[in-house]
Amino acid sequence: MVRLRRITQIVFLVFFIILFLKARYPYNNTLSSDLFLRFSPLIPIFDFIDNFSFSWLFWPAIVIIILTIFLGRFFCGWICPLGTVIDLSGKIIKSPSNTSSNKFDRLRYLKFAILIVAIILAFFSYNLWGYFDPLSIFNRVLTALIYPVGTLITENLLLYTSEISALEDPVYWLYDIFKEFIMPEKQAFVQQVFWITLLFVIILGLEKLSRRFWCRYLCPAGAWLGFLSQFRFYERIVGEVCPACDKCQVECKMNAIPEDDVAHTSKIECIECFNCGSLCPPKKSAITYRWRWKPYHTAVDVNRRQFITTSAASFITLGMLSIGLKDRKNKEKRIRPPGSLPEEDFLNTCIRCLQCVRICQSNGQCLQPDSIHDSVMELWAPVAHMREGYCEYTCNLCGLVCPTEAILTLSLKEKKKTPMGLAYFNKNLCLPFAQNVDCIVCEEHCPTPDKAIKFDLKDFILPDGSMKKVKYPYVVKELCIGCGICEYKCPVPGEPGIFVNTDNQRRLIKTDLA
């Protein structure tokens, strides 16, 4: 069983990574790349709170939830890719056994506290759970850290060794394979990578305190699945022959076996790794697993006082989130992907998985995880940075891979007509205005069939009295879709002579798309 579990864990991890790598142009996958993200058991709760209905979009999560009622937290032990990486990290940094990590057990309620806060806030339309969703965390780290760092090292290593003339041919052969399957696009650069990494490093580093620290004490998905598996029917049975050697108790990944009663299992904690069965002294084999139709019950360990404090804390958080300054200057810079829901809905539906950022990296590279400006809610939501990349006119991929439909799926035709914002000239910097020279690189790149940037040919009188004709560009509001290629290609160093803001943006709701 343990071997089967390990193989399953690796298979799901690899599956997740393949879906991640496949999230790129040309996106013609039979399996949509956001499929695994929709496994997250938390999604249906918050979807229900927001819309008072269940969406079939989240069928993978619903399957997990139903199975959990019978099987318990198998998702954590067998499927969750973050759990698998945590297991690997625990092996490397050598997690202590339960004899020393017992002392943290009073933190178990924390994961319920996080879940309760998330649910209470969701009722007031603030969805923060995405930050703590394990699948979202893992995808975020893949997008912002693991993939870009991996490609950066590989590409530079290959290009560096290709300069050794004896190795040139084999290295370029490898390079072509790398370019074909791993990184056909440009190297990705991501802002916020430090903070995204920090959260991940902390999660892995906590393994030094106890095995599966995150899963035991913090993960809200674990709390929800634990809550569901209080009565699970699949049980660990300890036979009469048990020598009470306590091996299973000491080595249990989740410390789910009580010290004083090895015959029982905390159904809320157990993730069904089956390690206990394999640790049981072979001659005895006291531990067996089987279905029982009259299962015993494990109570959720949150007491009344903890519940009240947690609720109070969520109302304070709610207040803090609501009274943050709503700075207009900042708001106009938060350009969202085309097809995004109206801003408030968007921030509440987005789970910060960065799947859109990932797929954008294979094209225009304009989407970046946002930083905090006025509100915590802005953190890691996708924001378009046109100076570092632009929205490719013939691309609609971000809408295709959003697991929660915070970015709606637009057809290419619809996308080409959905403005993300509007371009404005900064005439203090734009070269024709600042220096009276021709440039119009923005006009050249403007992708709309009837160009949204046009120019006026005007005379300019030089100091010696002679005349010179200069092309002065301007924006036609009705034509501009705010794709930002003008801002990206503007040759003015640093601050661009033309920039996009959220003016004229069109936000959509599902019913807009017939």
Could you list the residues that contact other proteins (CB under 8 A)?
25-26, 159, 162, 179, 184-185, 362-364, 392-395, 431, 435, 437-441, 443-451, 455, 471, 489-491
Beta carbon of residue 504, minimum distance to other proteins (angstroms, whole number): 20
Beta carbon of residue 379, minimum distance to other proteins (angstroms, whole number): 28
Q: Which two tokens stand for residue 272?
A: 């069904």
Contacts of 332 (CB under 8 A, 6+ apart): 501, 502, 503
Q: Which is nearer to other proteins, 100 or 435 (CB)?
A: 435
Q: What is the 3-state secondary structure (H, E, C) of 297-353?
A: CCCCCCCHHHHHHHHHHHHHHHHHHHHCCCCHHHHCCCCCCCCECCHHHHHHHCCCC
Residue type, 425: F
212: left (phi over 0), alpha (psi -120 to 50) or beta: left
Beta carbon of residue 152, minimum distance to other proteins (angstroms, whole number): 12
Closest CA to 143 of 58, 34, 267: 34
Q: Which is nearer to other proteins, 309 or 435 (CB)?
A: 435
Beta carbon of residue 457, minimum distance to other proteins (angstroms, whole number): 10
Q: Which is nearer to other proteins, 122 or 431 (CB)?
A: 431
Residue type, 288: T
Contact 484, 423 (CB under 8 A): yes
Q: Which is nearer to other proteins, 278 or 448 (CB)?
A: 448
CB hemisphere CA count around 112 (13 angstroms): 19
Q: Which is nearer to other proteins, 277 or 447 (CB)?
A: 447
CB hemisphere CA count around 393 (13 angstroms): 10
How distant, in Å, are the alpha carbons of 125, 275, 340, 483 from that of 344?
8, 45, 10, 22
Beta carbon of residue 451, minimum distance to other proteins (angstroms, whole number): 6
Contacts of 322 (CB under 8 A, 6+ apart): none
Q: Which is nearer to other proteins, 127 or 362 (CB)?
A: 362
Q: Which is nearer to other proteins, 179 or 373 (CB)?
A: 179
- Going by the DSSP 8-state scheme, the letter that residue 365 receives in this structure is -
How far apart are alpha carbons 376 and 29 in whole angstroms? 35
Contact 332, 501 (CB under 8 A): yes
How far apart are alpha carbons 188 and 388 in whole angstroms? 11
Q: Which is nearer to other proteins, 184 or 239 (CB)?
A: 184
Q: Which is nearer to other proteins, 399 or 403 (CB)?
A: 399
Residue 191 CB neighbours (<10 A): 16
Q: Which is nearer to other proteins, 422 or 446 (CB)?
A: 446
Q: Which is nearer to other proteins, 255 or 362 (CB)?
A: 362
Residue matched to tokens 């090895």: 262
Beta carbon of residue 445, minimum distance to other proteins (angstroms, whole number): 6
Closest CA to 352 of 463, 235, 199, 470: 199
Beta carbon of residue 477, minimum distance to other proteins (angstroms, whole number): 18
Beta carbon of residue 355, minimum distance to other proteins (angstroms, whole number): 18
Beta carbon of residue 172, minimum distance to other proteins (angstroms, whole number): 9
Beta carbon of residue 165, minimum distance to other proteins (angstroms, whole number): 14
Q: Which two tokens stand for residue 388?
A: 């570092």
Beta carbon of residue 503, minimum distance to other proteins (angstroms, whole number): 23
